[in-house]
A = this chain, B = another copy of it.
């Protein structure tokens, strides 16, 4: 969301109206249009804007784009708020506390909105962080590092590599735990990527974000960050996990295993869910409670194995009625190395794709099957269609999330090129991506 000054973007009708009212981006305005009145702060628009809309940040924190009509009037009602990081000195760090490295990659967490420019200014220093979340000083000695400042929909496998390398470096430098501040949109993908890239961890690596920016009364930034820092400092586990609100209440933060976690709601603060698994732990009042015994223990004797390479020649294809089989052919022609199918139910796709899939496998494309149901386990032995696909060489991916399967296959091809070895690794449990089999009815939904 970071913007530069060139991108305020108003033009044509919108710019004319704003000029007439003598208002600038960042000002408080009142817009009247027929029977409607909108009050808030004028924020910038995209360079792709149509010139016919004005965007206002309402008091609720929501932005609204208002179409200008002939009767639209705008008046300036005041000046916008400036971002409020304190610039005071770093509070005195308590040298007896664990060391936690916070790597910031962007997103809404621990940032403040500058309404004069519409930009979200990330917390760049440990001092900024303490000003946003003063409780941190009682939890850990914080070493803050800004790696990127991007919205997470712009994360790529190349970014995953950098994040993994930076986390490994912080651990080598003696961190007792690592927190990675990250946009929520693709946090699940990055969590899976780090789970495969950072093996045999001695300490926890905790991803954290927020659904509501710190300027909104309902922001979850501080509580999530406190939970993540507590987990990084004290949790007995040494895995990659996501720390986020367990429920709508602010009291408890859940830790989800990096390979089993998924963003399941566009706006709720408890958006992250462990799928086909229990959360690993909860954090409440700066105490960590483990919810399972099946986790990798924190142990400073563990020698981290850093395997940060990813190959993006892997596709995720969601099957649906009417899908064209030539979509599979296209991926083969483009020399994709792997395809994760999001099939239906227990792991099916329409028969009209069989020839294309057969051809893909013949061309050494590794084809795995996950389910678009999201919850539950693939079982391709129940129906003929599943057995047909097994016979064609499609690999059932058990209860692994489709997103995790995609990331895992990208990671495998970053390590090796042998098709047989790829297939073996794809079905081997490397980072808790497969849960033990249970009776189907007892699986969480």
Contacts and interface: CB of A to CB of B under 8 A. Distances in A.
Interface of A: 1, 3, 45-50, 55, 62-65, 118, 151-157, 159-160, 184-186, 189-190, 218, 248, 263-271, 310, 312, 314-316, 318-324, 326-327, 330, 334, 342-352, 354, 358, 371-379, 381-385, 387-388, 390-392, 403, 406, 410, 440-441, 443, 445
Given A334-B324, A342-B318, A384-B1, A264 B349 contact: no
Contact of A266 (B184, B330, B371): B371
Contacts of A266: 345-347, 371, 373, 375-379, 440
A169 B421 CA distance: 56
Contact of A46 (B155, B348, B391): B391
Given A65-B390, A270-B445, A373 B45 contact: no
Contact of A376 (B3, B267, B344): B267
Copies of the chain in the assembly: 2
A349 B49 contact: no
A254 B50 CA distance: 45
A92 to B, nearest CB: 37
Given A65-B387, A65-B390, A321-B157, A264 B445 contact: yes
A153 B319 CA distance: 9
A189 to B, nearest CB: 5
A344 B155 CA distance: 12
Contacts of A372: 263
Given A49-B387, A264-B374, A388-B46, A382 B445 contact: no
A201 to B, nearest CB: 22
Contact of A185 (B63, B269, B344, B384): B344
A1 B218 CA distance: 51
A152 B345 CA distance: 10
Contact of A381 (B65, B151, B347, B391): B65
Given A153-B350, A263-B372, A314-B322, 18 more contacts: A45-B391, A48-B388, A49-B387, A50-B391, A62-B379, A62-B381, A63-B381, A65-B381, A153-B351, A185-B345, A264-B375, A265-B445, A266-B373, A266-B377, A267-B346, A267-B376, A267-B377, A316-B323
Given A46-B391, A376-B266, A318 B318 contact: yes
A118 to B, nearest CB: 8
Most buried by B among A47, A266, A352: A266
A440 B268 contact: yes
A63 B382 contact: yes
6 closest residue pairs by CB, A with B: A266-B376, A48-B391, A185-B344, A312-B322, A267-B440, A185-B345
B441 A373 contact: no
Contacts of A441: 218, 248, 267-269
Contacts of A375: 264-266, 268
